[in-house]
A and B are shown apart, each in its own frame.
Chain A
Amino acid sequence: MALDEVLLQNLDDIPILRLYGWNPPTVSIGYFQKMEDEVDVEMCKHLGIDVIRRLTGGGSVLHDSELTYSFLTRRYPQSIIESYKVICDAVIIALSKLGFNAKFSPLNDIVINGKKISGNAQTRKNGALLQHGTILLDVDFEKMFSVLKVTKEKIRDKMISDSKDRVIGLNKTYVETLSSLKNGFREKFAANLVSDTLTEDEKIRTKKLIKEKYSTTRWNLRL
């Protein structure tokens, strides 16, 4: 999260694609959510799952068996929905290369046969756009609903059974999904992808932001 923010602050005219997994598994909540409303933090501690509040809006997500992308650019449609469509299209192309017929599902999801495979969230600052999103490789519904709070109106078991009809994992490996995702972005943006490393300044600023913001209860719990 800190790295995404540093890259967004520093972004020049060359877009950045960042691809990563999660270790340990982590629950992230959206910028406008409150941790205690959405997450059983004690259960997360018990299961060795981290918690964090994102710099982007949207809902709560258990990041476990998934590939996550962060895409940063200064060239994007002004319309929010159009910008989601354009960037999600790169993911959809990647999924088609893995044999899946995926579609964009407004406002910010990608679905395969009506089931959610990817959630995406965006922020814009100083003319730069960050969109990050998940590509689910596998879904552990029991674990998900043991850490995500269920409202009084919903019964946990019903939510698990409903979710199995609404959310799926790709059942592909991280490596093959990553390769397809790179090709998806290459094709969508007619771009060459050039591997890069963080500068010393980016590493220092990321560590500082982790210490001063993303590891604090003030940020994560909105205290």
Chain B
Amino acid sequence: MKTARNAVKSEKLIKVLLRYDEQKKTIQSITIRGDFFLYPEDALEKLESSLVGVRLERSVLNKRVQEILQGAEPFGFTAESMTEAILGCLSKKIDRV
């Protein structure tokens, strides 16, 4: 299992802490923080928990993020910019936890 962080500024800043299975390329856990807005606010916890097990492949991840965010309204990011923020962790230096 690997852990990596990424920070991306789209309209607002998205910071991601990602734990993932390097072999299966799936999300083990994810924490998303930043100065964005999301309505309702508890949609973020649902996003984080619903991404567990999802493959870190662009089209798969983007589709899943879009599905989870249906019914919620992000302000300061899009499903696409969130996907890129998450995938950007894969090219970052690995955290020694």
Contact = CB atoms under 8 A, between A and B. Distances in A.
A binds B: yes
Interface of A: 30-34, 37, 55-60, 80-81, 107-108, 121-125, 151
Contacts of A108: 37
A57 B35 contact: yes
A110 to B, nearest CB: 17
B8 to A, nearest CB: 12
A37 B37 contact: no
A33 B75 contact: no
**Across the A-B interface, the 8 shortest Cβ-Cβ residue pairs:** A59-B35, A57-B37, A80-B75, A34-B33, A30-B35, A31-B41, A58-B35, A32-B34
Identify whether the interface residues of A are mostly helix, strand, loop, or mixed. loop
A55 to B, nearest CB: 8
B73 A80 contact: yes
Contacts of A32: 32-38, 41, 44
Identify whether the interface residues of B are mostly helix, strand, loop, or mixed. strand
24 contacts: A32-B33, A32-B36, A32-B37, A32-B44, A33-B35, A37-B15, A55-B41, A57-B35, A57-B38, A57-B75, A57-B76, A58-B37, A80-B37, A80-B39, A107-B11, A107-B75, A107-B76, A108-B37, A121-B37, A123-B39, A124-B39, A124-B40, A125-B40, A151-B7
Contacts of A123: 39, 41
Interface of B: 7, 11-13, 15, 32-41, 44, 73, 75-76
Given A32-B36, A33-B35, A57 B73 contact: no
A33 B11 CA distance: 16
